[in-house]
Each structure stands twice: as C-alpha cells, then as structure tokens.
Amino acid sequence: MKLYEMAEAYQSLLEAIEEGQDFSVALEQLEDKIDTKVENIAKVIKTTDAQVKAIKDEEKRLAERRKALEADIERLKTYTSTTLQNAGLTKVKGSLLTVSLQNNKPSVVVDETKIADEWLIPQPPKVDKTRLYEALKEGQVIPGATLQSTQSLRIR
C-alpha cells in the first residue's frame, strides 16, 4: 500500500467514526505492519478523543448559557408578578399577549425532621463497593463479591 493510499484509508476510518458508521471494514482495509497500524489507529483515537473533549466543552458552555437564560426568565416572571400584585392587577391585555396571575394548586411543604416514617418511601439498600474492595484486597472471602483485574488501552 502506497503512502497516499494509507493516508486515505486512515482518513476513511476517521470519517466512518465521525459519521457513526461501522468502521470495522475500514480497519480491515489497512494493510500496514502491526506496529504502524497500531500507532496510526492510536492517532485516530487521539483525534477522536480531542473531538469528544471539544463537544463536551461546548455542551458545558451551552448548559451554562441555558441555565443563565432560565434564571433570567425566572427573574423577569418574579418581577412581573410582583409588579402586578403591587398594582392590584390580575390581568393585563396587550396588543399581542395577555399576562395574568393565576392561582396554582396547593403544594406540600415538608419538614423532613418532623415527618413520621409512614410517609417515607423506603429506599433499596446500596452496595458499598469501596468497603468491599478494601476487604477483598485484605484477603477476606465475601460471598457474592470477587476482585477482577481488567486491562485498558493506554495511549501516551
């Protein structure tokens, strides 16, 4: 396989990953020596990882922006509601919109320290994996739990 063909094959692999397609065929078409193939695949992984990081950063930025806009909406609603209440109005008709105060159904206000157990929803028990890990590491035999070693791919 010529150098430009290898570059095209790796570009096809990257495009298949980006488009969410099955990239196993693109992997099989790579005819490099195993060390070259593995290194080039690692480069594709690093490139894709950088894209994932960029997307996560953008998601975080957009989530922060959304939360700020939602807070703005709440402040504007509170201001408008207070303004109507202070003016003794329950409804204002504009040329395009009508704004009115409405009564909501009653909501339950709870002081959990004073609520009897009969009003609590039982929660299922949760396994303490940290304590289990420590106990198993110290050699304790615990029915239903074992330590299992795995491998992961590390790219530096």
Residues 15-29: tens digit of each pLDDT: 877 887 777 766 666
Residues 56-108: tens digit of each pLDDT: 999 999 999 999 999 999 999 999 999 999 999 999 999 999 999 999 999 99
CA angle 64–68–72, rounded 5-degree value: 170
Residue 92 corresponds to which amino acid? Answer: V
Output the average pLDDT for the chain: 89
Going from N- to C-terminal start, the domains of the chain cover 1-93
Q: Which of 3-7, 8-12, 50-54, 80-84 shows the lowest mean pLDDT across its residues?
A: 3-7
